[in-house]
C-alpha cells in the first residue's frame, strides 16, 4: 500500500488538483509498507474512490463518467459541453462554413440539408442539378434541353410550344374553340389642349421594379423572343385564327425627361374625372382602333446629372425607352392597297403615335392600365405623411418591411394592397400589377391560382385533347400520359399494350419482363438492361435511368439510388496560412479508385500543424484505402502521418518536414465517410511550444479536450491566433473563458508561460 512517510498524514489520498509543474516541485517520499490486516482495511477505506456520478448524475446534463478522484461530464452526439463542464448545448451545424450547399436546418443534436427547386441532395450535404431530360425526356414531346436548376422543351421548325411548355403545336394552326388573343391597346386623345396617352394591358403583363427609381414593364408577346424581360414559367397564349403571317411593324424610341424621377403610381381620381370631361370635347389621334399593339416594352431609369458650375446642385434626369410591335389587319388589304401599302400606312400611324406619346410623357399625361387600375408614369412619388414608410409599386408594408405581393396575387393600386387572382386568372410571379387570363375557354379555376395548372378545366392524367382542356378523351390502349393538360399520349413502344384505356404510367404497359431497380426496360429488345455508370433507377418497372446530379457519377453500373452518385473531385482549399483537405464527396462516402494528391508549401520560415478530427477508412479490405503525408512523392521520404483505418479520436501533430506531400488512394472495395483535415502554418520560432502542446497526453485524455479538436469554430479560432499571433488581442479574456474549458486554458497557459519564461 502507498502511504506518506509522515506518520498519520494521508494527504496522498486527497484529490490531486496540482498541475504537472507543481507535481515536480512537490516531491513526496512514498514507502511501501506491509501492515496488519486491520491497518490495511482502514487505509483501503480512506483511499477508496467516491463515485460522484451516483448523486444527481454528478450535475451533468447528459453523461457522467467516474474517474479516480474525480469525474467527467460528456454530451450526446450533436451537442457540446459548455465551459462550466456540466451543461450540454446543441451544436448549431448550420453556423459553420460549408455545412450545406443550399439550405441548412438545425435540429437538436442534428441538422438537415435541403436543396433548391431543380436540385437534389447527394453526399449528405451537397446539391446537384437534376437532369430532368433523363427522366422520360422531361415529358417533352420533341426535344429537351437541361439547364441549371431547370430544363426546357424545344420544338422542330414550324412548331411552337404549347402553354403547358411540353407539347409542340403548329405555329399558325387555328385551334378549335380558339378565342382571340387579347391585345394591348394604345389610345391617345386630346384633353384640355394637352395630349393624353393610355396603354391598356390585358394579358402577358410583367412588371419588374429594378430599384426605387427604375422599373421595366412589358405587355403582350413579342414575335421574336428575347425582346421582353421573360418571366419564369411564362405561358404564351395559343395561336388563333386571328394571327397573321405578316411580320410586325416595330418602333423604338427613347424619351428624356428633365428634373424627374421614375415612379409608377395610381392615377389621381380627381384629375381623371376632370380629364374625362375634357376628353369629350377633344378628339382621338391616329393609331387608336386601326392598329393592334401586340407587344410593348417600357423601361424607365433615373440618374443624377450635375449642372454646370461647382455650386449648382445636381438634377434628376429620367429616360424612358419604349418598344412597340404592331400587326396589320388582314381585312385592310385590298386591290387598291396591297400588303406593302397597308404596312406603310401602319408605319406612319405608329410614328405619329410615338410623337404624341412623347408629348404626353413630358406633361405627365401617360397612363398604363392593369386590372382596371390606371397608373401614372409619374415624375414624383406620391405624397405620404411625414415619417410614414413607403414601398415601391407592387409591394406592401408588412412588419416594417416592404415585401412583394406573392404568387397567386396582384398589387391593386386602387386598394393599395395585394389581392388574390380571381377565378379564371393566375399569377406565377411576385410583385405583379395584374393576373394572367387562363388559357381555358371555360374561365374556371380557383381563387388565387399560382400557375396555369391551377386554372381548372384541364384534362387529367391519362387523358388528352386538342388544347389540353375539356372535353377530353382517355389515352387509347398502348399509350399513357402521366401529366394533366396534355395534347397527346406517349406510346408504350415495341407493340406493347396497356391493361386499360386512360393509363398514366409506363408501368401500366404490359411489359414482357418486370425490371428491378437499377434496370430499365428496353421496348425494342423487350429485355431489362442495367443502368449504365453515372445513372440510377430506384423504382420497379421503369423504361429509363436517371442521370446522376451535377458532376457526380457512380462506382458501378446498375445503381439503385442517388446516394450511389458521388463527386470524384478531390476536395479542399490550400492557403498559405490556413486551409483544409477533404476526401471526394465528403461527408458522403468517397468513390472507388480515386487518387488525390495535395501539396502544402508554406511561406518562408513557417511550419505546418495538422489536426485530424476524425477519419473513416474501412480496414476490412486490407488497407486498400490509405492516407499518407510525407515530405515528397518518393516512398523513402520522411513520413509524418499514415493510416488506413478509422479513428474517431482526434490527433494533432506537426509536420516532420517543411513541405508536405499528401496522397489519398482508394480501391474498389469498401468505402467510408473519409476525412476533412484542417491545417495551419505558424512561425517556426514557436516550433518547440507547438510540439510541447500537441505531444502532451492531457490534450487527448479528456473527452472535453477531444471535442475541442473536433469543434470547427474553436479550431478556426485557435488556427487564427497561431497563423497571426496579433489576432490574439481580438479575443477578450471573457470570450476565451466562454469558448474553452478551464482545464484547457490552464494546460495552454502553463505551456506558454514555460516557453516565454523558461528560467522563472
Query: Three-state SS string across 331-377, please?
Result: HHCCCCCCHHHHHHHHHHHHHHHHHHHHHHHHCCCEEEEECCEEEEE
The CATH number given to 391-457 is 2.10.50.10
Burial category of 288 from C-beta neighbours within 10 Å (exposed 0-12, middle 13-18, buried 19 and up)? middle
Q: Assess whether pLDDT exceeds 90 at residue 639.
A: yes
Q: What CATH class is the domain 53-90?
A: mainly beta
Residues 6+ apart with CB under 8 A from 170: 158, 159, 160, 239
Among 251, 253, 246, smallest CA distance to 341 is for: 246
- Residue 555: what pLDDT? 96
Q: Assess whether pLDDT exceeds 90 at residue 13.
A: no
d(CA 608, CA 594): 25
Q: Which residue has the higher pLDDT, 661 or 18?
A: 661
Instruction: Tell me if 297 sits within 8 A of 259, measured CB to CB.
Output: no
Q: Which residue has the higher pLDDT, 353 or 557?
A: 557
Residues 6+ apart with CB under 8 A from 403: 395, 396
**For residue 447, what is its C-alpha cell?**
381563387
Q: Assess whether pLDDT exceeds 70 at residue 251.
A: yes
- Residue 647: what pLDDT? 95
**For residue 266, what is its C-alpha cell?**
395610381
Burial category of 201 from C-beta neighbours within 10 Å (exposed 0-12, middle 13-18, buried 19 and up)? buried
Mean pLDDT of 579-608: 97
Q: Assess whether pLDDT exceeds 80 at residue 211.
A: no
- Residue 359: what pLDDT? 85
d(CA 250, CA 560): 55
Q: Assess whether pLDDT exceeds 80 at residue 23.
A: no
Least confident of 10-24, 326-340, 536-550, 623-637: 10-24
Among 523, 446, 506, 452, smallest CA distance to 484 is for: 452
Domain ranges, ordered by start, for the chain:
2-48, 53-90, 93-129, 174-238+246-307+314-383, 391-457, 567-756
d(CA 523, CA 495): 8
d(CA 319, CA 525): 65
d(CA 517, CA 531): 9
The CATH number given to 567-756 is 2.60.120.290
- Residue 264: what pLDDT? 82
Q: In this structure, how many other beta carbons lie within 10 angstroms of the beta carbon of residue 209? A: 20
CATH-assigned architecture of domain 93-129: Ribbon (2.10)
Phi, psi dihedral angles at 116 (to 5 degrees): -65, 165
- Residue 68: what pLDDT? 87
CA distances to 168, 466, 490, 741 from 486, rounded to whole Å, are 10, 8, 10, 65
Q: Which residue has the higher pLDDT, 181 or 176?
A: 181
Among 515, 561, 513, smallest CA distance to 535 is for: 561
Q: Which residues sit opposite 88 in a β-bridge?
A: 81
Q: Assess whether pLDDT exceeds 90 at residue 156.
A: yes
Instruction: Tell me if 672 sits within 8 A of 589, measured CB to CB.
Output: yes
Burial category of 694 from C-beta neighbours within 10 Å (exposed 0-12, middle 13-18, buried 19 and up)? middle
Least confident of 97-101, 133-137, 330-334, 513-517: 330-334
Residue 691 is classified by DSSP as H
Q: Which residue has the higher pLDDT, 332 or 87?
A: 87
Q: Which residue has the higher pLDDT, 537 or 48?
A: 537
pLDDT band at 388 (very low <50, low <70, confident <90, very high): low
d(CA 273, CA 34): 116
Identical fold between 53-90 and 93-129: yes
Mean pLDDT of 756-760: 66
Residue 184 is classified by DSSP as B
- Residue 94: what pLDDT? 96
Q: Which residue has the higher pLDDT, 727 or 581?
A: 581
DSSP secondary structure of 124-160: TTEEEE--GGGTGGGG-SSEEEEETTEEEEE--TTEE
d(CA 14, CA 7): 16
Residue 734 is classified by DSSP as H
CA distances to 489, 529, 682 from 732, rounded to whole Å, are 70, 65, 22
User: Average pLDDT, whole number, for the chain?
Assistant: 82
- Residue 6: what pLDDT? 38
d(CA 106, CA 629): 35
Residue 26 backbone zone (phi > 0: left; psi -120 to 50: alpha; other: beta): beta
Q: Which helix (H) or strand (E) holds 18?
A: none
**For residue 564, what is its C-alpha cell?**
450511389
Residue 40 is classified by DSSP as H
d(CA 369, CA 373): 5
- Residue 182: what pLDDT? 53
**Range from 81-95, 213-227, 247-261 that averages highest in pLDDT:** 81-95
Amino acid at each position: 500500500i502507498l502511504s506518506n512517510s509522515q506518520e498519520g498524514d494521508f494527504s496522498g489520498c486527497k484529490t490531486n488538483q496540482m498541475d504537472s509543474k507543481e507535481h515536480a516541485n512537490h516531491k513526496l517520499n512514498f514507502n511501501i509498507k506491509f501492515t496488519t490486516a486491520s491497518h490495511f482495511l482502514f487505509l483501503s477505506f480512506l483511499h477508496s474512490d467516491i463515485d460522484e456520478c451516483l448523486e444527481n448524475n454528478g450535475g451533468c446534463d447528459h453523461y457522467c463518467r467516474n474517474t479516480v478522484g474525480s469525474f467527467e461530464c460528456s454530451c450526446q452526439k450533436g451537442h457540446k459541453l459548455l465551459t462550466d463542464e456540466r451543461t450540454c448545448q446543441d451544436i448549431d451545424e448550420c453556423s459553420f462554413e460549408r455545412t450545406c450547399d443550399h439550405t441548412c436546418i438545425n435540429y437538436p443534436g442534428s441538422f438537415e440539408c435541403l436543396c433548391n427547386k431543380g436540385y437534389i441532395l447527394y453526399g449528405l450535404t451537397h446539391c446537384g442539378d437534376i437532369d430532368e431530360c433523363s427522366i422520360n425526356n422531361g415529358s417533352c414531346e420533341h426535344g429537351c434541353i437541361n439547364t441549371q436548376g431547370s430544363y426546357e422543351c424545344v420544338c422542330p421548325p414550324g412548331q411552337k410550344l404549347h402553354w403547358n411548355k411540353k407539347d409542340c403545336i403548329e405555329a399558325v394552326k387555328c385551334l378549335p374553340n380558339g378565342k382571340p388573343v387579347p391585345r394591348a391597346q394604345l389610345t391617345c386623345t386630346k384633353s384640355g389642349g394637352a395630349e393624353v396617352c393610355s396603354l391598356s394591358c390585358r394579358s402577358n403583363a410583367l412588371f419588374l421594379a429594378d430599384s426605387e427609381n427604375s422599373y421595366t414593364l412589358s405587355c403582350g408577346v413579342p414575335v421574336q423572343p428575347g425582346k421582353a424581360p421573360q418571366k419564369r414559367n411564362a405561358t404564351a397564349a395559343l395561336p388563333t385564327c386571328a394571327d397573321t403571317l405578316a411580320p410586325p411593324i416595330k418602333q423604338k424610341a427613347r424619351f428624356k425627361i428633365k428634373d424627374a424621377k421614375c415612379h409608377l403610381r395610381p392615377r389621381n381620381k380627381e384629375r381623371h374625372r376632370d380629364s374625362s370631361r375634357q376628353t369629350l370635347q377633344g378628339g382621338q389621334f391616329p393609331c387608336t382602333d386601326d392598329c393592334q399593339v401586340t407587344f410593348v416594352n417600357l423601361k424607365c431609369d433615373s440618374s443624377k446629372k450635375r449642372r454646370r458650375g461647382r455650386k449648382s446642385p445636381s438634377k434628376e434626369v429620367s429616360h424612358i425607352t419604349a418598344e412597340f410591335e404592331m400587326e396589320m389587319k388582314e381585312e385592310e388589304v385590298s386591290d387598291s392597297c396591297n400588303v406593302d401599302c397597308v404596312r406603310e400606312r401602319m408605319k406612319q400611324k405608329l410614328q405619329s403615335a410615338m410623337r404624341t406619346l412623347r408629348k404626353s410623357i413630358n406633361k405627365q399625361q401617360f397612363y398604363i392600365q392593369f386590372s382596371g387600375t390606371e397608373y401614372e408614369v409619374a415624375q414624383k412619388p406620391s405624397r405620404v405623411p411625414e415619417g410614414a414608410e413607403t414601398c415601391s409599386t407592387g409591394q406592401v408594408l408588412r412588419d416594417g418591411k416592404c415585401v412583394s405581393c406573392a404568387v397567386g396575387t396582384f398589387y391593386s393600386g386602387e386598394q393599395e394592397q395585394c389581392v388574390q387572382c380571381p377565378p379564371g386568372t393566375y399569377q406565377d410571379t411576385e410583385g405583379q400589377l395584374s393576373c394572367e387570363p387562363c388559357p381555358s375557354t371555360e374561365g374556371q379555376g380557383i381563387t388565387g391560382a399560382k400557375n396555369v395548372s391551377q386554372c381548372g378545366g384541364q384534362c387529367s392524367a391519362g387523358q388528352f385533347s386538342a388544347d389540353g382542356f375539356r372535353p377530353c378523351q382517355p389515352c387509347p390502349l398502348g399509350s399513357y400520359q402521366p401529366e394533366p393538360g396534355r395534347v397527346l399520349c406517349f406510346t408504350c413502344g415495341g407493340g406493347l399494350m396497356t391493361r386499360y384505356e386512360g393509363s398514366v404510367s409506363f408501368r401500366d404497359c404490359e411489359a414482357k419482363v418486370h425490371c428491378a431497380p437499377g434496370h430499365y426496360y428496353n421496348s425494342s429488345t423487350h429485355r431489362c438492361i442495367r443502368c449504365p455508370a453515372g445513372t440510377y433507377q430506384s423504382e420497379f418497372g421503369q423504361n429509363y435511368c436517371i442521370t446522376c446530379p451535377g458532376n457526380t457519377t457512380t462506382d458501378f453500373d446498375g445503381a439503385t439510388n442517388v446516394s450511389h452518385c458521388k463527386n470524384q473531385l478531390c476536395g479542399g482549399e490550400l492557403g498559405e496560412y490556413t486551409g483544409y483537405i477533404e476526401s471526394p464527396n465528403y461527408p458522403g462516402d468517397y468513390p472507388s479508385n480515386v487518387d488525390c494528391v495535395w501539396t502544402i508549401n508554406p511561406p518562408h520560415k513557417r511550419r505546418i500543424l495538422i489536426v485530424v478530427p476524425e477519419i473513416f477508412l474501412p480496414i476490412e479490405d486490407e488497407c486498400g484505402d490509405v492516407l499518407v503525408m510525407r515530405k515528397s512523392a518518393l516512398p523513402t521520404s520522411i513520413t509524418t502521418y499514415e493510416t488506413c483505418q478509422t479513428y474517431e479520436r482526434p490527433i494533432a501533430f506537426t509536420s516532420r518536414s517543411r513541405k508536405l506531400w499528401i496522397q489519398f488512394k482508394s480501391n474498389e472495395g469498401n468505402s467510408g465517410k473519409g476525412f476533412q483535415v484542417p491545417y495551419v502554418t505558424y512561425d517556426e520560432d514557436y516550433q518547440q511550444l507547438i510540439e510541447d502542446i500537441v505531444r502532451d497526453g492531457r490534450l487527448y485524455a479528456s473527452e472535453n479536450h477531444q471535442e475541442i479538436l473536433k469543434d470547427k469554430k474553436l479550431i478556426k479560432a485557435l488556427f487564427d491566433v497561431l497563423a497571426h499571433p496579433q489576432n490574439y488581442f481580438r479575443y477578450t479574456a471573457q470570450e476565451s473563458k466562454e469558448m474553452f474549458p478551464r482545464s484547457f486554458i490552464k494546460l495552454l497557459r502553463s505551456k506558454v508561460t514555460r516557453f516565454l519564461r523558461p528560467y522563472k
